Amino acid sequence: MMYRYLAIVLMFTGSHVFAEPLSLSVNQIRKDLAADVVDIKVLEQYEASEGKAVEVTYSGIPLEKLLQYLYPKTWDGFEGEIYFHALDGYLSILNTAKARQGEAYMTFARADGKPFIIDNNNQNEKDVPLAPFYLVWDNLHNPLLVGSNAYAWPYQVYQTELVPEAVVQSLLPPNASASVEAGFDAFRDNCLGCHNINGFGGKKYGMDVRQVIKALSREELYEWIDKPSAINKYTAMPPLSAGITGENRQRTISSIIDYLQAI
């Protein structure tokens, strides 16, 4: 399991033209970046519960060091987003500016030698394998990251893309209202990891999200985004981040619906 391949794909602006995939084993990365391997202790997002913090120490590489290694001719000066593809079809999206802040680490093992697995309490999943890579954040030293959106902690990461902003912006309808633009941003942050539009986005739920919403009223969409288990207690779909509360939560959900209905 520790020798799965990490395929590196570079998407260029304006079309889905890909560079030749570059596959690297975890062992190769550990060998080439041995001097950059560190142990990072974090408050584990997935295993935390109300009133209970869980600290775990992982072994990994600072994300920016890894990206410099993977994209030696491209990373410096690149503006856009990094896409992290997971084996289960999930897609995590990270802005390059945030990646350069030095708070993210791509890990490949637990420092204490225990199995590289996790209990995902958000989706009622036990003993989930994290390999080949698991992206974590130094939330012990930055309190603003405590309780942050767990969607930014992708596991089973096997592939990355550098995606120029122009490609992402193609998902925004022309002449969009302020609410639709806000909904687009919220959809990117909270929904695009699992759902796709015309094949662009996560693949955990294969159907194009535009087809999914056709039969749903605005009220039903709101409930699905706010608390999907209230509609289907067996669904694996998590609710909108618990960190988005009160009027901000209502406004965020409404703007996501505005965006979905606009497309």
For the chain, give every domain's residue range. 5-166, 172-262
Instruction: Give the integer Cα–Cα distance in Å for 147 and 178.
Output: 28
Per-residue pLDDT of 241-258, as tens digits, reads 777 889 999 999 999 999
Q: Is the pLDDT confidence value at 12 over 50?
A: no
CATH 1.10.760 fits 172-262, yes or no: yes
The verdict on domain 5-166 having CATH code 3.90.420.10 is yes
Q: What do you get for the CA distance between the two ends of the chain, in Å?
A: 40
Evaluate if pTM is beyond 0.85.
Answer: no
Q: Which of 36-45, 131-140, 164-173, 211-220 has the lowest mean pLDDT?
A: 164-173
Q: What percent of the chain has pLDDT over 90?
A: 39
**pLDDT over threshold 50, residue 169:** yes
Task: State the pLDDT confidence band at 17, using cuts at 50, 70 and 90.
Answer: very low
Supply the mean pLDDT for the chain.
83
Backbone angles phi, psi at 235, to 5 degrees: -65, 145
Q: Answer for the pair 41, 194: CB distance below 8 angstroms, yes or no.
A: no
Are 59 and 110 in contact by the 8 Å Cβ rule? The answer is: yes
What integer pLDDT is reported at residue 145 of this predicted model? 73
The residue type of 168 is V
Please write the tens of the pLDDT for every residue from 46-62.
887 666 778 999 999 99
- Rounded CA-CA distance 214/204 in Å is 19
- Work out the average pLDDT over 15-29: 57
